[in-house]
Amino acid sequence: MALKIRLARGGSKKRPYYHIVLADARSPRDGRFLENLGSWNPMLAKDNDARVKLDAERITHWIAQGAQPTDRVLRFLNEAGIAKREAKNNPEKAKPGKRAQERAAEKAQKIADAAEAAASAE
């Protein structure tokens, strides 16, 4: 059975609250879980200590048993010093799209044409 340490949403509409749970990878997001390992309240300020609560002892136990944390949970574990998250790097994502590149080329061409016209007028 593949185990995941992931978020299960609670709270009301527009007021999210998440439980950090250990669940079977095949179960639904808010469905059955094996153990509650903490909570995350995104409505609190980022510097508030109550924003993320973790049961570090149980989390390290389940990671040793082979449970895989999701990316968001791994961020919390990295901040708490429980697990290491490697920084991701996608240089392709930072590049502008095809249409934006075409518009930039057109703009550069217009500037070059204007400079050439000004130089020939003198």
| pLDDT, tens only, 15-47 | 999 999 999 999 998 889 999 999 999 999 999
% the chain with pLDDT above 90: 76
Using CA atoms, how far residue 116 sits from 71, 102, 104, 108, in Å, is: 53, 21, 18, 12
- In whole angstroms, give the CA distance from residue 12 to residue 69: 25
Q: What pTM value is reported for the model?
A: 0.71
Which residue in this structure is represented by tokens 């250990």? 22
pLDDT given for residue 1 in this prediction: 67
Cα distance between residue 64 and residue 75, in whole Å: 18
